[in-house]
Amino acid sequence: MDELIAKGAEMIASAQKILVFTGAGLSTESGIPDFRSPGGIWEKYDPSDFYFQKFISDEHARTTYWKMSREFYSLIKPASPNRAHLAVKTLEDHGKLLAVVTQNIDNLHQKAGNSPEKIIELHGTLISVSCLSCKKKYDRDEIEARFDSGIKVPYCDDCGGILKPDTVSFGQAMPQEAMEQSIRYAGQCDLCMVLGSSLVVYPAASVPMHAVQSGARLMIVNREPTPQDGEADLVVHMSVSEALTGMLRLLFA
Ligand code: APR
Checking DSSP bridges between strand 97-102 and strand 234-236, what pairing results, if any?
A: unpaired
pLDDT in tens, 65-101: 999 999 999 999 999 999 999 999 999 999 999 999 9
pLDDT of residue 21: 98
Distances (CA, A) of 247 to 4, 13, 226: 9, 10, 21
Ligand 1 geometric centre to CA of 240 (Å): 11
Burial class of residue 5 in the structure, from the number of CB atoms within 10 Å of its CB (0-12 exposed, 13-18 middle, 19+ buried)? buried
Q: 53 near 97, Cβ under 8 Å? A: no
pTM over 0.95: yes
Ligand 1 geometric centre to CA of 136 (Å): 31
Does the annotation mark 123 as catalytic?
Answer: yes
- Looking from the CA of residue 168, the nearest atom of ligand 1 is 32
Round to the nearest angstrom and report the end-to-end CA distance of the chain: 19
Domain architecture of the chain: domains with CATH: 1-31+81-123+174-253 (3.40.50.1220), 33-78+126-167 (3.30.1600.10)
pLDDT of residue 47: 87
pLDDT of residue 48: 87
Catalytic choice (85, 94, 109, 123): 123
Distances (CA, A) of 11 to 6, 118, 193, 251: 9, 21, 10, 11
Percent of all residues in the chain with a pLDDT value above 90, rounded to a whole number: 93
Quick one: the chain helix, strand, coil %, rounded to 5? 45, 20, 35
Beta bridge partners of 137: 130
Looking at ligand 1, which residue's alpha carbon is closest to its atom 28?
201
13 or 48, greater pLDDT: 13
